[in-house]
Structure 1
Amino acid sequence: MSANTNTDILLAGAIAAFSVDLLVYPIDTLKTRLQSPDYARRYVDAGTRAVNRPALFRGLYQGVGSVIIATLPSSGAFFTTYEGVKSALNAHNPRITPLIRRAGGDQQPVAPLLPEPVIHAAASSIAELVSCAILTPAEVIKQNAQMVSSTSSLPAAAQRSQNATLVTLRRFRAHPLALWRGYAALAGRNLPFTALQFPLFEQLRARIRRSREAAGKVTGSLLESGCITAVSAGMAGAVSAVVTTPIDVVKTRIMLAAGDEAGGRESANKAAGQTGGKGNGNGKGANGLVDALGKTAAKRQAKRQSSLAVFKQVWAQEGMKGLWRGGALRGVWTMVGSGLYLGVYDSGRVYLARRRGQTLDEDELF
């Protein structure tokens, strides 16, 4: 019987998510700004082509609040779903009796129908779909907040009123459903990422453990368990992150476009409300403005693009460099983030189980 309860899994996942969000969030902000279609206009000097570092590195924690609030339940949902699906698949994984026999006449050991990497990939993919449904609104708010311009020249009161998260929330106030517009893009990025990361992570961790056992270096300590998991997860995460960078660029563009669209609609609605009672005597003034706003909204609707269309647009305008922009930062961020995330999660589960006087087998960790 497993020594971990669902509460343990939720607590360990929440602690891991909170730790990672605070430590690696600035790198994520830089990645978002690099992948933004407005990167050159906002952060590169038009005359010298030099990067405006003060602007690029200002407000690196903008939008972190929304992510902390959402990642606690989303990470808990991910790990609970992952553990549950993996256990169910292992429990109902039929065994296949090979027809080939050994030279001595003994039959080979019974093999499972689904190998472990397939089970890990399936469980992580299903868990990711559940997690993305919770995380998408926060991800949209976060990435749009990361792009909100801030300036140190404003007085303190003005800076407080220009809180990046609040500014972003106001843009979506009239159209809250736009917060879920990036679900398909987020899931489209995370599914291949987790399908690559978790099987690779499991294999790396198993190899490191076998290597330590062969060398007689196993201590069984909480620190050892956490470090092995952190190193394995960091390496697997970095490889998976770099490979899926083009998908991440597309996801970032779609989520930033959702913010631009929501903000444009709100501005149009305000303008229409302010001029609703005004005309030029024959009623054409207000109607003309409403028609213009309608055409603007129609154009904005037409600009809403699919993931494939965004991919083609980036390829046509910026080439291979545009599709891989931010890949190095994403690799570093994910290596640190995944290592800390799964390392803290793993250690948290072991610690919570030991607090109750129970032990957690290695096979139960993931």
Structure 2
Amino acid sequence: MDQPGFTTSLVAGGVAGVSVDLILFPLDTIKTRLQSPQGFNKAGGFRGIYAGVPSAAIGSFPNAAAFFITYEYVKWFLHTDSSSYLMPAKHMLAASAGEVIPFSLVQFPLWESLKALWSWRQDHVVDSWQSAVCGAFAGGFAAAVTTPLDVAKTRIMLAKAGSSTASGNVLSALHGVWRTQGLSGLFAGVFPRMAAISLGGFIFLGAYDQTRSLLLELGKESP
């Protein structure tokens, strides 16, 4: 396995991060307001859903670039044969090194596994659009299973200062939602979250693979 290019991973990751933030920022705002204990309308409804887009886009370039540089280098460092049963563990370690959140631990191993399966079925490496499709499925699944944690995070962020929820205890926040709203509360906003992150996975991972492929191709053509 060739050592990944530093500049290639940096630029491709940054482009992917900016692309997904510019397109999906409004959906994330709507999802957060759906999870608010005040209710959707009192939390702002559809008003100002584009507020903060420029700053988010500016911040997403270095964040996504740093994530993918780390992800690619850890994958390279931990390289094992593609048929090895350790491959999922390698992808989990690479994702957690780049961004330590449960979402990445689900999404990236699944993305890599789906790409490997598709490559095996068609007997050649997946194209960028196929990688994007795999990213959409992986993102949607990861979004669904981690929604309760996202609800807890939103409740903690919006909690009144001094309350038990504001202390940052995730289990306490989850218990509070379960006690007052049950299962539906734990999965509040799951469908817009799945839609947004599926589309985000398609754009983010597809744009990353496409940009990376173009840069590597340009590198080969350069004298």
TM score, norm. by length of structure 1: 0.56
1:209-228 alignment, distance < 5 Å: 209-213=119-123, 225-228=127-130
Matched residues in 2 for 1:42 and 1:344: separation? 36
Matched residues in 2 for 1:339 and 1:252: separation? 24
Aligned to 2:115: 205
Q: Provide closer, same or farther for how the CA distance between residues 318 and 78 of structure 1 changes in structure 2, counting only shifts above 3 A.
A: same
Contact 2:31 2:189 in 1 (8 A): yes
Matched residues in 2 for 1:116 and 1:2: separation? 17
Q: Provide closer, same or farther for how the CA distance between residues 332 and 40 of structure 1 changes in structure 2, counting only shifts above 3 A.
A: closer
CA offset at residue 66 of structure 1? 3.0
CA offset at residue 319 of structure 1? 1.2
- 1:282-332 deviation line (CA, Å, top 9, x unaligned): xxxxxxxxxxxxxxxxxx276633111111111111111111000011100
Q: Provide closer, same or farther for how the CA distance between residues 303 and 122 of structure 1 changes in structure 2, counting only shifts above 3 A.
A: closer
Matched residues in 2 for 1:38 and 1:3: separation? 50
Q: 1:124 aligns with which of 82, 88, 95?
A: 95
CA offset at residue 204 of structure 1? 1.1
Matched residues in 2 for 1:346 and 1:40: separation? 36
Q: Is 2:166 the partner of 1:256?
A: no
CA offset at residue 40 of structure 1? 5.6
Aligned to 1:234: 136
1:261-340 alignment, distance < 5 Å: 261=161, 300=162, 304-305=166-167, 306-340=169-203
Aligned to 2:70: 81
Identity of aligned residues (%): 39
* Structure 1: gaps spanning 5 or more residues: 44-54, 96-110, 130-190, 262-299, 360-366
Aligned to 1:10: 10
Matched residues in 2 for 1:199 and 1:303: separation? 32
Q: Provide closer, same or farther for how the CA distance between residues 307 and 207 of structure 1 changes in structure 2, counting only shifts above 3 A.
A: same
Aligned to 1:188: none
1:68-107 alignment, distance < 5 Å: 68-90=57-79
User: How many corresponding residue pairs?
Assistant: 220
| 4+ aligned runs moved over 3 Å, structure 1 | 1-4
TM score, norm. by length of structure 2: 0.89
Q: Provide closer, same or farther for how the CA distance between residues 40 and 340 of structure 1 changes in structure 2, counting only shifts above 3 A.
A: closer
Which amino acid in 1 is paired with 2:109? P
Q: Is 2:86 the partner of 1:115?
A: yes
